[in-house]
Amino acid sequence: MPVSNTTIAEYLTKHFNHFDSELKALLEEKTSLRTFAAGEVMMQTGQYFRATMLIAEGRVKLYREGEDGGEFFMYYLEPGDACALSMICATRQQRSEIMAKAVEDTTVIAIPIELMDELMQQYKSWYYFVLETYRQRFEELLEVIDSIAFRSMDERLEFYLKKQVRELRSKQLRTTHQEIANDLSTSREVISRLLKKMEYQGKVALYKSYIEWLSEV
């Protein structure tokens, strides 16, 4: 994958400028950049966290794995986000209960676990960032729970596609029926049938390599 010439300081200014200057100086000195190719698994279920990751470039997908090997999509992380679970699990040396995969070529700022206590105790801007990160992830999980508990599969699919369009800021979604089925914990056949129904209703146009959203979001 191409290597960016962007420095840690530049990433912090671009995506984490709400951090105070002393915190940014410390992170610039003590952290490192890591890159992951699109499709690369960044964290396996059961693996120990060695660092907290701030997303600097790219997009990361988080899953919960079932005992049968199935995957359940939780949410995405984008530039300016952090992995909420790693913030607490790294400090307490707990194993990961999720799997993280790079959707695009991704660069992260890796913060060593030995810094976590110091960051929480000495830097208010980090403390409030952690709280806000947990609030955002909690709200996203509530959306997932509401979708499962209160929506039919065709409603879940429409909700899913609209969210993809908003987050990617594009009405052309380069994904497969199988990938959508994995994210919604159903079969490819069900997704294909529902997409055909949505195409008939004029909500989407189906192409070989992408799905185009035609309705409002």
Q: Which of 137, 129, 136, 115 is nearest to 19 (CA)?
A: 129
The secondary structure of 139-163 as a DSSP string is: HHHHHHHHHHHH--HHHHHHHHHHH
pLDDT over 90 for what percent of the chain?
Answer: 57
| 46 lies in the same domain as 113 | yes
| 136 lies in the same domain as 159 | no
Q: Quote the pLDDT of residue 2.
A: 47
Cα R_g (the chain), whole angstroms = 19
- Judge whether residue 119 has pLDDT over 60: yes
Most confident of 23-27, 39-43, 68-72, 94-98: 23-27
pLDDT (average), residues 66-91: 79
Say if 3 falls within a structural domain: no
CATH number of the domain within which 130 lies: 2.60.120.10
**How many structural domains comprise the chain?**
2
Q: Given pLDDT bands bounded at 50, 70 and 90, which one contains residue 191?
A: very high
Say if 1 falls within a structural domain: no
CATH number of the domain within which 159 lies: 1.10.10.10
Residue 60 neighbours by CB distance under 10 Å? 22
Q: Quote the pLDDT of residue 43.
A: 87
CA distance 202 to 181: 21
Say if 143 falls within a structural domain: yes
| 83 lies in the same domain as 125 | yes
| 142 lies in the same domain as 157 | no
C-alpha triplet 7, 9, 13: angle, nearest 5°: 120
| 199 lies in the same domain as 110 | no
- Judge whether residue 197 has pLDDT over 90: yes
- What does pLDDT average to over the chain? 88
CA distance 138 to 127: 17
| 40 lies in the same domain as 140 | yes
Say if 114 falls within a structural domain: yes
Q: Which structural domain range is residue 162 located in?
A: 152-213
Structure tokens that stand for 62 in this block: 């988080």
CA distance 95 to 48: 4
pLDDT (average), residues 165-190: 90
| 144 lies in the same domain as 156 | no
